[in-house]
Structure 1
Amino acid sequence: MSSLPLHDVSAKTQDIFEKLQNQTTEVATVGKIGAAVEIKKLQRQLKEQDQIHQDGIAEIHLVLKEFVDTQLFEHLKKQGKLREIEEEIDELVKEQVAECLKTIIPQDLQEQVAEQRSELEELGIQLHNCDSRRANASLRSNQPDESLHTIYMPDGKVSEHYPRNLKDLFDLDAETSKALMLDYELPDVYEARDRNLNRFMQFCGVRTGIYTQRVGIA
């Protein structure tokens, strides 16, 4: 009989405690849990929780064995339900991690870590955009196939309308130019294509003069 194609329960439980330990280290970095005695206390709590879960794993293994040894396994396999069971287990693991964090690490510290992580992500977006604008400023009109370096939107993604190179940028129509202005939340959105295009080029770091040169050549 085929083995049960579910994630190993022991591995999932171990993953919970690895995440808890990582979270503990991250909170310690913030500076709120700096004393060695607090770290040892958390480690002791983790070990106690680990023992509780290890005891539960043995019981879960028995349940899974009974499950595999019955016709229910083959029935679910034929019905394509095993994937759903995997997803339910993944969701249970996430919920268990969240509950353990609430018990071991105070909510205000979790919020502070999340806030600092958000600030770091925002800083990463700003640094990426700064580097891209610097690179875009060196592009020349006689190299229309040169890649246009990406600019991230506030959510850290690149707009689906973002042009691949200078040629695509210069060929933007009025509708797409306006869509880009809206995607990147730029002020003063116009109906006129050229005004939006010039504004977006400045936003990307591309010198507007090379567009004028291209139009003049054309």
Structure 2
Amino acid sequence: MNILMLKRNKLSAVKTFNIVALSLLLVFSQPWVADLVLNPLEFQSASTEAKEIQPDYIFVPACYYHTEGNVPTITRWHECSLQRMLEAIKQQKKLEVPIVLTGGKFLQNKDVVFAREAEKFLHTFGVNHNNIIVIEAGWNTKSEVISLKEHLPDARVVAISSATHQIRLSYLLSDAGIEHTISAVDYHSSGDLSFYIVPPSSNALIKIQRAAYEYLALLKYFLYDSSSEEIR
């Protein structure tokens, strides 16, 4: 952009563009701004169900598992996957209901089924085989909810999800007619919106990127998925 404007001798436009770009970079690299942008996603009540439910299952949507490289198994798990599954183990001990795992062949290695790898993880941490239901299907949230509905049509679930993702997941579960409550993990902000200024942070930019992805996904949901009959 700058090169094109320089070629056309629009020096003032180049200067303005650079100032705006630098200003935006400085603003969005502030952790407080990242917290502000994340707050509506992570701390707004997600569940569309007004009452607490006694769940029949603990539903754990897939996140990610790295299939490439010569690294220990625990290193292959993405942070959001680890937090969801560890919370599921805790909830299973408390509620004494089965854990439902979804996720098919969407990883880099197409021979690996996410839900089966998650099952192995739960076994490693002491969850009995009888307390795990594996659904080898789904490559995104919508397809996983559809698979859950097909296999367990009358299920009442506590769904464990990343905090930024909980609102969209709750909408999709409601659209499918699945009674649910949300248990959120993997928070990226503290909920404290007290103003502060610190040196610019690349981590803040990563948080802004994460929030932007989820806001765009919610926009897509309202434009397309909410009116779709596929999930109903």
TM-score by length of 2: 0.22
Q: Which has the higher contact order (CA 8 A, sep 6+)?
A: 2
More helix by share: 1
More strand by share: 2
TM-score by length of 1: 0.23
